[in-house]
Amino acid sequence: MSQIELPQGLLPILDETHAGGMSTVEIIESFIDAEAYPFIVHHNGLNKIEYADYIQAISLLKEEMDFEYLLHHHVDRMPLSGALGIHLTPKSMSVPQTRETIGPGQFIGYSAYSLDEALKAEDAGADYILLGHIFAAPKEKPFQPVLGIEELTKTCTRLSIPVYAIGGINTENLIRVKDAGAAGFTALRAVYEDNEIDHNIAFLKVLWDELD
């Protein structure tokens, strides 16, 4: 396992579709300014060649700007990505196959949509779980079920690996996420709102730290 630890609190997602026209470099600069990394790199809508070029660009930026990131879904891009680990979904390669492919020393995360899925991923060797949707988030994949705080609490209680919450999380409900026992959370709208990424992240981090 990598000597770099996963964050307590915010686990950001780099997703240009929420960034209001900001470039990848501008988003990463904001993450660095807010000391918000590692972050998950997510990008839909690219073909294989475009995605390979995109990840190559991220890896070059990593060398220049000194940050850590987790690759999303595409296990085949891991060897040349310089990523700290990979974040899987139910549509990705399985956790055991991924570990066999990338070897030891790198994180494997998994997006789960129920306690049962989270337990199976942990048993398979996942290092952390991203569980959601915890709250309603109509602009973010509305077809996914809303699990609620009770399911988050059960999952955090049952699992021995870190559980991060996703889905509709904001400054108003963040205390409920922490009280449920989550290691942290991720958010899109709350991070990218008004393109004030570094400011938004700083506020979320302070709020999380004060929720004791």
Helices (H) and strands (E) in the chain, counts: 9, 9
As given in the structure block, the two tokens for residue 119 are 């337990």
As given in the structure block, the two tokens for residue 20 are 């209001």
Smallest Cα–Cα separation from 190: which of 163, 166, 162, 156? 166
Percentage of residues of the chain with pLDDT beyond 90? 86
Instruction: Domains for the chain: give ranges and CATH numbers.
Output: 9-210 (3.20.20.70)
* Nearest 10 degrees: Cα torsion 79, 80, 82, 88: -50
pTM > 0.75: yes or no = yes
Separation CA 32–CA 67 (nearest Å)? 7
Q: List, as one string, the DSSP characters of 189-203.
A: HHHHGGG-HHHHHHH
pLDDT tens-place string over residues 94-151: 999 999 999 999 999 999 999 999 999 999 999 999 999 999 976 655 567 899 999 9
As given in the structure block, the two tokens for residue 125 are 């060797």
CB atoms near residue 85 (< 10 Å): 25
